[in-house]
A and B are shown apart, each in its own frame.
Chain A
Amino acid sequence: EAAVTQSPRNKVAVTGGKVTLSCNQTNNHNNMYWYRQDTGHGLRLIHYSYGAGSTEKGDIPDGYKASRPSQENFSLILELATPSQTSVYFCASGDSGQQFFGPGTRLTVL
């Protein structure tokens, strides 16, 4: 069974709307991460968390919020979605350096 799952897998949103991307992990890892990947580039870190109740800003946090209500769940929230946030979003979990990734969510903001 997949240890890191994401939902939804695909999402179309309108400019100015609120979008919530969800991530669940069964690895019992303390650390979880949200990345975005744009065409032809590697992944860039948006927010991460060291455990339930904690969120930290990554390299590109503007326009995004994060929530870690439990060890297993980590959400990425776009309060006011913009077309520039159209991308593929990956969630990951991992302790001690190695990270394990979810399947990705393709978000299109019209």
Chain B
Amino acid sequence: GQQVQQSPASLVLQEGENAELQCNFSTSLNSMQWFYQRPEGSLVSLFYNPSGTKQSGRLTSTTVIKERRSSLHISSSQITDSGTYLCAMEDNNRIFFGDGTQLVVKP
């Protein structure tokens, strides 16, 4: 079955540093989605990114379908960026999640 590998599993940054989160997929996919999970548990959709690059503020998502990978770049990190970042691949209207990257941004 489909497998989604995220790296790193955890990351600690000093405020202002940049971060690059990676997601790799074991099989071909139709599209992928990046989520931010707040410390209290709710999920926020960051990007729905079938392919290519999308930017929203300090966040940039790049997906290369043929290479089965996606990345999320966070620039000039802030304390409020702390939380868990989940990537998920979509295949035939089903979503398969990675285990997430836990990010802590320190002052």
**Which residues from chain A sit less than 8 Å from chain B, CB to CB?**
31, 33, 35, 40-45, 48, 58-59, 88, 90, 92, 94-101, 103-104, 106
Tell whether, in the assembled complex, residue A42 and residue B4 are in contact, meaning their CB atoms are under 8 Å apart. yes
The total of chain B residues at the interface (CB under 8 A) is: 23
- Scoring A90, A92, A101 by chain B CB atoms within 10 A of each residue's CB, the highest score goes to A101
Please indicate the chain B residues that have their CB under 8 angstroms from the CB of A94 in the complex: 93
A41 touches B99 (CB 8 A): yes
Please provide the chain B residues from 53 to 107 with a CB less than 8 Å away from any CB of chain A in the complex: 86, 88, 90, 93-100
Check if B100 sits within 8 Å of A97, measured CB to CB: no
For B42, give the chain A residue with the smallest CB separation: A103
New A-B pairs, 19, CB < 8 Å, besides A31-B93, A97-B93: A35-B97, A40-B100, A42-B88, A42-B98, A43-B95, A43-B97, A44-B97, A45-B94, A58-B94, A59-B1, A88-B41, A90-B43, A97-B30, A97-B31, A97-B50, A98-B31, A98-B33, A99-B33, A99-B95
Of B35, B42, B48, B97, which is within 8 A of A97 by CB?
B48
Closest to B30 in A: A97
User: Is the CB of B45 closer than 8 A to any CB of chain A?
Assistant: yes
Determine if B88 and A104 form an interchain contact, defined as CB atoms under 8 angstroms apart.
Answer: no
Complex interface: chain A residues within 8 A of B94 (CB): 45, 48, 58
From 8 to 49 in chain B, residues with beta carbon under 8 angstroms from any chain A beta carbon are 30-31, 33, 35, 41-43, 45, 48
